[in-house]
């Protein structure tokens, strides 16, 4: 059993899957269910992109230590560019080179999405309303030296420099002194180039959905509750309950009792999205949104387009919107289950500019009778 995988603070949701998944080799359409070499992965992505060029975009976000491109395929109606109101989602696989199941699953996910667009109404609606970014292999150098069938070893876990990429990102609670590797730097630059609303990283070695954070101020107690933990837990359960094996919570020799909660009501899509605009309809970037009537909720900042995306469970929330040069705004919004619309609830906030106090010209201080007033 490999060392348990921890997630860095900014990775919203981690998904760990058993390596046993690939025991049976099956055909899925034109994509074989086998491990793909880096060349095969690259040619498969290129082929899928060419065959579905109107809804996909393939680009490299950088290179591994050994110069292998880190391919990201984007799926959406406007794959090359973000559109207002369309949330961006990302998946990362194979961060540990010897955990290749996620790499293959993501390749199949891409294939499934692209080949079912226009055929399956759910997938069509998903692609019409979301922009999905997939990096199937973050550690191609590690994958190259991993030993097939070795389920207990460490070979290929790290990158070419021997660095565990999953522990190479900045840490929310403590300073991570490890220098950033090329793969990590590429991924961090990629993160900054988009406004990702939700993310998942696929590991191998255990069957459990891990949600933030993987450490805390007290070390690794897992006892401290953090902002939006209910939302993280809910999202993790959406994953685990969709999987007939993960939800059992006791596979691969591990026990994850928190993976099982019966009788709860699940909403596949939760949240509120929209823009902060001024009274002339212009977007207000860098506006800070906070929820006043919710304990421990992460604040959000609007992007250059004035957009915000806030993951929430249904309920009534009082937002406070603050932006430099504008009067603070407080507004209560009802967030409902919007499953059928394939969208989060949409709401716009309009903020009013603070009145500027210009020094008045001397003449305006004139007394009513016209004589100058000496102040
Ligand atoms: Zn891992």
Residue pLDDT, tens place only, 95-135? 999 999 999 999 999 999 999 999 999 999 999 999 999 99
The answer for residues whose C-beta is within 8 angstroms of residue 280's C-beta and 6 or more apart is none
The count of other CB atoms within 10 Å of the CB of residue 100 is 25
- pLDDT-derived band of residue 171, with 50, 70 and 90 as boundaries? confident
Interval between CA 163 and ligand 1 midpoint (Å): 13
Residue 25 has pLDDT above 50, yes or no: no
Interval between CA 3 and ligand 1 midpoint (Å): 8
Interval between CA 96 and ligand 1 midpoint (Å): 5
Interval between CA 312 and ligand 1 midpoint (Å): 28
Hey, what's the torsion of the CAs at 163, 164, 167, 170, to 10 degrees? 40
Count the residues in the chain: 375
Q: What's 323's DSSP letter?
A: -
Interval between CA 249 and ligand 1 midpoint (Å): 18
**More confident of the two residues 310 and 14:** 310
In whole angstroms, what is the distance from residue 125 CA to residue 131 CA? 11
The predicted pLDDT at position 7 comes to: 32
Residue written as tokens 């004589």? 371
Mean pLDDT of 52-81: 98
What does pTM read for this prediction? 0.81
Residue pair 273/346 in contact (Cβ under 8 Å)? The answer is: yes
Residue 12 has pLDDT above 80, yes or no: no
Interval between CA 275 and ligand 1 midpoint (Å): 37
Instruction: Find residue 182's DSSP bridge partners.
Output: none
Interval between CA 143 and ligand 1 midpoint (Å): 12
Highest-confidence segment of 3-17, 45-59, 307-321, 336-350:
45-59
The predicted pLDDT at position 75 comes to: 98
Q: Give, in order, the Cα–Cα distances in Å from 11 to each of 170, 223, 269, 301.
A: 11, 19, 19, 18
Half-sphere exposure in the Cβ direction for 39 (13 Å, CA): 0
- pLDDT-derived band of residue 4, with 50, 70 and 90 as boundaries? very low
Interval between CA 164 and ligand 1 midpoint (Å): 9
Interval between CA 73 and ligand 1 midpoint (Å): 22
Residue 14 has pLDDT above 70, yes or no: no
The predicted pLDDT at position 207 comes to: 77
Residue written as tokens 């559109």? 83
Least confident of 57-66, 158-167, 290-299: 290-299
The predicted pLDDT at position 134 comes to: 98
The predicted pLDDT at position 19 comes to: 34
Interval between CA 88 and ligand 1 midpoint (Å): 24
The predicted pLDDT at position 375 comes to: 41
Interval between CA 200 and ligand 1 midpoint (Å): 12
- pLDDT-derived band of residue 359, with 50, 70 and 90 as boundaries? low
Interval between CA 252 and ligand 1 midpoint (Å): 15
pLDDT by residue (tens digit) across 267-284?
A: 445 689 999 999 999 999
- pLDDT-derived band of residue 244, with 50, 70 and 90 as boundaries? confident
Interval between CA 276 and ligand 1 midpoint (Å): 39
Q: Characterise 262 by phi-psi region: left (phi > 0), alpha (psi -120 to 50), beta (else).
A: beta
The predicted pLDDT at position 221 comes to: 56
Interval between CA 40 and ligand 1 midpoint (Å): 22
The count of other CB atoms within 10 Å of the CB of residue 309 is 20
Cα 71 from chain centroid? 17
Residue pair 71/137 in contact (Cβ under 8 Å)? The answer is: yes
- pLDDT-derived band of residue 17, with 50, 70 and 90 as boundaries? very low
Interval between CA 154 and ligand 1 midpoint (Å): 11
Residue pair 108/127 in contact (Cβ under 8 Å)? The answer is: no
pLDDT by residue (tens digit) across 186-208?
A: 999 999 999 999 999 999 887 77
The answer for residues whose C-beta is within 8 angstroms of residue 263's C-beta and 6 or more apart is none
Highest-confidence segment of 9-23, 233-247, 289-303:
289-303
Half-sphere exposure in the Cβ direction for 57 (13 Å, CA): 13
Interval between CA 116 and ligand 1 midpoint (Å): 30
Instruction: Find residue 277's DSSP bridge partners.
Output: 283, 350
Strand ranges (DSSP E) for the chain? 14-17, 27-28, 31-32, 56-63, 69-75, 88-93, 131-135, 196-204, 208-210, 272-278, 288-291, 300-301, 307-310, 315-322, 329-335, 345-346, 349-351
The predicted pLDDT at position 358 comes to: 63
| Sheet containing 208-210: order of strands | 56-63, 69-75, 131-135, 88-93, 196-204, 14-17, 208-210
Interval between CA 189 and ligand 1 midpoint (Å): 21
The predicted pLDDT at position 265 comes to: 37
């Amino acid at each position: 059993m490999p060392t348990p995988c921890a997630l860095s603070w900014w990775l919203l949701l981690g998904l760990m899957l058993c390596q046993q998944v690939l025991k049976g080799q099956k055909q899925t359409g034109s994509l074989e269910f086998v491990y793909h070499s880096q060349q095969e992965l690259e040619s498969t992505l290129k082929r899928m992109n060419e065959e579905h060029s109107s809804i996909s975009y393939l680009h490299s976000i950088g290179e591994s230590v050994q110069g292998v491109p880190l391919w990201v395929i984007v799926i959406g109606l406007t794959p090359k560019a973000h559109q207002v109101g369309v949330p961006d989602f990302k998946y990362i696989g194979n961060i540990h080179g010897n955990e290749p199941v996620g790499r293959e699953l993501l390749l199949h996910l891409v294939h499934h999405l692209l080949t079912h667009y226009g055929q399956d109404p759910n997938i069509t609606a998903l692609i019409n309303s979301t922009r999905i970014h997939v990096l199937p292999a973050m550690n191609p150098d590690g994958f190259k030296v991993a030993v097939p069938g070795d389920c207990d070893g460490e070979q290929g876990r790290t990158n070419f420099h021997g660095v565990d990429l999953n522990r190479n990102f900045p840490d929310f609670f403590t300073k991570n002194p490890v220098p950033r590797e090329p793969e990590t730097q590429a991924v961090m630059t990629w993160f900054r180039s988009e406004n990702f609303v939700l993310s998942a990283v696929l590991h191998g070695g255990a069957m459990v959905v891990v949600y933030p954070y993987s450490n805390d101020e007290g070390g690794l107690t897992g006892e401290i509750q953090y902002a939006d933990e209910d939302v993280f837990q809910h999202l993790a359960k959406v994953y685990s309950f969709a999987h007939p094996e993960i939800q059992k919570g006791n596979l691969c020799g591990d026990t994850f009792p928190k993976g099982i909660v019966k009788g709860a009501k699940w909403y596949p899509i939760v949240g509120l999205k929209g823009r902060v605009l001024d009274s002339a309809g212009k977007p207000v970037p860098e506006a800070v949104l906070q929820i006043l009537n919710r304990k421990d909720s992460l604040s959000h900042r609007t992007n250059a387009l004035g957009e915000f995306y806030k993951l929430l469970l249904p309920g009534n929330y009082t937002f406070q919107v603050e932006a430099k040069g504008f009067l603070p705004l407080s507004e209560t919004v009802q967030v409902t289950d919007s499953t059928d619309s394939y969208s989060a609830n949409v709401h716009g906030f309009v903020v009013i500019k603070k009145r500027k106090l210009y020094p008045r010209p001397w003449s305006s201080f004139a007394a009513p009778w016209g004589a100058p007033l000496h102040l």
